[in-house]
Amino acid sequence: MRFTRRRLLSTGAGLAALSLAPARVWAELALGDAKVTTVSDGSLMLPGDFIFQHMPEAELATVLQEAGVARDRLEPECNVTLYQGGGNTVLFDVGSGPDFMPTAGSVVDSLDAIGVAPDDITHVVFTHAHPDHIWGLLDDFDDPVFANANYMIGRDEWDYWWDPDTVNTIGEARAAFAVGAKRRLEAIEDQIERFDDGQEILPGIAAVASYGHTPGHMSFEIRNGSNAALIAGDAIGNHHVAFRKPDWPSGSDQDAALAAQTRARLFDRLTADDMTLIGFHLPNGGIGRAEQASDGYRFTQDI
């Protein structure tokens, strides 16, 4: 298994100050004869309370200081995973598109920078339907950006966002998430396949239920011979408190208690099987490992 990190300066002079992030960072992982690449969709700009609001402040300050993370403002990367193997070119999630945050929405440009066009994508697989993962589905004419792809989503995740009552029960702060998800799922209703926990959705790719961040969030184990990696989506959503204090409730999770249980289970799996971890919001392209520490876990990219 081979892991490399690269940095590509964004092209195009004259970009507005709040357009794309100043650099696109991606990482690569060789998995047998398959290749995994994370491509940047930019980054988010979030208030600290989006995650930290219900955490114990004194202990939190220590964790954040050690990680070099500010309490009041977060700018997590958005890493979209590309899998190329077995004749398939698979994209896990599609990023934000132009309508969520001005600092995100660059996945098509990042794919272009490594020689992959939207029409090359054979499958789009969704971890979940939050805006930074699914709003990049449609172009300016409301047509799918990845026109040749087959689409796939967990059955429970589909059912949750398809339910017309979700917009009324998700809470005012996330109501726009429900509206946006439903509109995009409607656009591919006749082109999408639903799957269940444990199902091998494509050769070498198996679904792993990781509920809590959303009601039907899915992670994916990709395996080639003895080599394996876990695409965790937002089930492990950052490199600081999620690792050091996985039992703490995060404001980013729709069911914080269930999400904490999921993190504990995934960390057990990652460390027991010595698996590579790929996280949507983890730093430097998001590929690394979870190592047990005296106080929880730590994210390392020395692999």
Q: Sketch out the chain's domains with CATH numbers.
A: 2-300 (3.60.15.10)
Give the global pTM.
0.92
Please give the pLDDT value at position 26.
Answer: 79
pLDDT along the chain (303 residues), means of 10: 39 30 69 95 97 97 96 97 97 96 96 97 98 97 96 98 98 97 97 98 98 98 93 98 98 98 98 96 97 93 79
Q: What is the DSSP string of the chain?
A: -EEEEEEEEPP-TT--TTSS-SEEEEEEEEETTEEEEEEEEEE--EETHHHHTTS-HHHHHHHHHHHT--SSEE--EEEEEEEEETTEEEEE----GGGS-TTB--HHHHHHHTT--GGG--EEEES--SHHHHGGGB-TTSSBSSTT-EEEEEHHHHHHHH-TTHHHHS-GGGHHHHHHHHHHHHHTGGGEEEE-TT-EEETTEEEEE-TTSSTT-EEEEEEETTEEEEEEETSS--SSHHHH-TTS--TT-SSHHHHHHHHHHHHHHHHHTT-EEEETT-STTSEEEEEEETTEEEEE---
Please give the pLDDT value at position 303.
Answer: 64
Please give the pLDDT value at position 22.
Answer: 38
